[in-house]
Structure 1
Amino acid sequence: MESTLYLLIKHNRLESERIILRPVSIEDAEDMYEYASDEETTRFVFDTHQNLEATKNVIAEYFAKDPIGKYALVLKENNKMVGTIDLRVDMTHKKAELGYTLNKKFWGNGYITEAANLLLELGFNIIGLERIYAMYDSKNKASGRVMERLGMTREGVLRKNRLVRNEFSDDVCYSILKEEYMK
């Protein structure tokens, strides 16, 4: 039987009609900085990058240091990296957390839903997960709509769950179970 890590490495490139998911590389720094330096794009997820060097460091420390399950979201039409999406797997409990960020210039086009569907397929049909969940800042309603489009069910609110920009954030948790996904 193939290990989870092996399966994630084996499937480190996924494609759909409009997008490619592949490992993030240092060559993505300018595209990532374009959205990571934008206050509106980052306000619910991480501190805004102040310069290109900060973005390069994030790529090195977060994406390159431990790339498994972390993907650049790239548009097929122009090979532009417009966001990231990741599946943080916990095989002890056969579950994973889904997380994503998308350049605001590309909001409203269904790219995150398309990318997340690729990861749901990977998680349930290839890796053998039983549960995939995601959380969003309660003030970021658009992210909640993505989770609903994925067929996820709202589970509840984790109050003051994260400290973002020196302010506590309530996170709304959604999940989907394997049997729900397979229907």
Structure 2
Amino acid sequence: MNIWTKLAMFSFYETERLYFRPFFFADAADFHALASDPENLQFIFPVQASLEESQYALANYFMKSPLGIWAICDKKDEKMIGSIKFEKLDEIKKEAEIGYFLKKEYWSKGYMTEAVTKLCELSMDQFGLKQLSIVTHLENSASQKVAQKSGFSLYRRFKGSDRYTRKMRDYLEFRYTKGDLNE
């Protein structure tokens, strides 16, 4: 069974407070509410000015190739509150980069740490990955805390071109390797 079959098997999964599922077009209004607030996505992608822009982004970047991309939903109110996904998945090297974002009302409550920790667990135990990375902007201390609380260690600091502004920025890369925690 290859990794894509395994990802398909885990297109739906849950944690104590969250459940993860593929994005639906019906998420467009919740996605727009999240994507139209610059605080939610300041390190991810440009603000979505209209519902139509959000529908386009949702369909083309989250629904088009759904394996390895999950909507994060709060079990209590059953609303989509964020996303977690494999940015770069290398089946041969058995490694991936994780990207994520969360609606600001859910920040600082452990939701993203819960999501990242569960994805690490699945990545090592079910998907056969050996290494994960999280790349953050230097000034994104919240994401750095999530990485560290989820068992990732700082690997390197580097300069790179921002994918939207094309400006050179400073980044930190955190890595999690099989065996880092209670493996």
TM-score by length of 1: 0.95
Change (3 A) 1:166 1:39: farther
- Given residue 13 of structure 2, which amino acid in structure 1 is its aligned partner? L
Superposition pairs for residues 2-81 of structure 1, below 5 Å?
2-81=1-80
- Given residue 55 of structure 1, which amino acid in structure 2 is its aligned partner? S
DSSP-derived class of the 1:139 partner: coil
Q: d(CA) in 2 for partners of 1:137 and 1:47? A: 15
Q: d(CA) in 2 for partners of 1:149 and 1:29? A: 31
Q: Which whole-Å deviations, capped at 9, do the CAs of 1:72-117 have from their partners, x for residues lacking one?
A: 0000001011100012421111101111001111111111111111
**Unmatched segments (≥5 aa) in structure 1:** none
Quote the offset at 1:181 in angstroms.
Answer: 3.1
- Given residue 72 of structure 2, which amino acid in structure 1 is its aligned partner? L
Q: Contact between 1:19 and 1:73, CA under 8 Å: does it hold in 2?
A: yes
Give the equivalent residue in structure 1 for 2:107.
107
Matched, 1:170 2:174: no
Give the equivalent residue in structure 2 for 1:97.
97
The answer to which of 165-174 and 86-95 deviates more is 165-174
Change (3 A) 1:63 1:163: closer
- Given residue 58 of structure 2, which amino acid in structure 1 is its aligned partner? I
Q: d(CA) in 2 for partners of 1:44 and 1:85? A: 14
**Unmatched segments (≥5 aa) in structure 2:** none
Q: d(CA) in 1 for partners of 2:85 and 2:22? A: 10
TM-score by length of 2: 0.95
Q: d(CA) in 2 for partners of 1:4 and 1:132? A: 15
Q: d(CA) in 2 for partners of 1:111 and 1:84? A: 11
Superposition pairs for residues 130-141 of structure 1, below 5 Å?
130-141=130-141
Q: Contact between 2:161 and 2:167, CA under 8 Å: does it hold in 1?
A: no
Give the equivalent residue in structure 2 for 1:153.
153
DSSP-derived class of the 1:147 partner: helix
DSSP-derived class of the 1:134 partner: strand
Change (3 A) 1:158 1:164: farther
Q: d(CA) in 2 for partners of 1:144 and 1:161? A: 19
- Given residue 147 of structure 2, which amino acid in structure 1 is its aligned partner? M
Q: Contact between 1:162 and 1:171, CA under 8 Å: does it hold in 2?
A: no
- Given residue 104 of structure 1, which amino acid in structure 2 is its aligned partner? K
CA RMSD of aligned residues (A): 1.3
Quote the offset at 1:127 in angstroms.
Answer: 1.1
Q: d(CA) in 1 for partners of 2:152 and 2:79? A: 28
- Point out 4+ residue stretches in structure 1 off by more than 4 angstroms: none
Q: Contact between 1:23 and 1:72, CA under 8 Å: does it hold in 2?
A: yes
Aligned length: 182
